[in-house]
Amino acid sequence: MKLHFGDNYTDQYSQFQKWLQEDMSDFTPYGKLVHSFSKKDSSAKTYKIYMVKVMDQRFLGEQHHTLQAIFYFFIERASFIEITDSWSYFLLYECTQPSEGKEIYKLCAFTTMFEFDENNEHHARISQFLVLPAYQRQGFAQTMVRTIYNYYIEHNS
- Could you tell me the domains of the chain? 18-155 (3.40.630.30)
The pLDDT tens digits for 6-63 are 666 777 888 878 877 776 667 788 899 999 998 877 667 899 999 999 888 777 666 7
85 alpha carbon, distance to own chain's centre: 17
**In 3D, which of 10, 1, 4 has the Cα closest to residue 66?**
4
Is the pLDDT reported for residue 157 higher than 70?
no
Distance (Å, whole) CA 138 – CA 147: 16
Distance (Å, whole) CA 22 – CA 40: 31
Contact in structure between 89 and 114 (CB atoms under 8 Å) = no
Is the pLDDT reported for residue 131 higher than 60?
yes
Q: Which of 38-42, 127-131, 149-153 has the lowest mean pLDDT?
A: 38-42
Percent of the chain with pLDDT over 70: 81
pLDDT at 82: 76
In the chain the beta strands, taken as DSSP E runs, fall at: 32-39, 42-53, 87-96, 104-118, 121-131
pLDDT at 1: 56
The pLDDT tens digits for 71-100 are 667 777 766 777 888 889 999 999 987 767
108 alpha carbon, distance to own chain's centre: 8
Query: What are the helix (H) ranges across 1-74?
Result: 2-5, 13-26, 57-62, 64-74
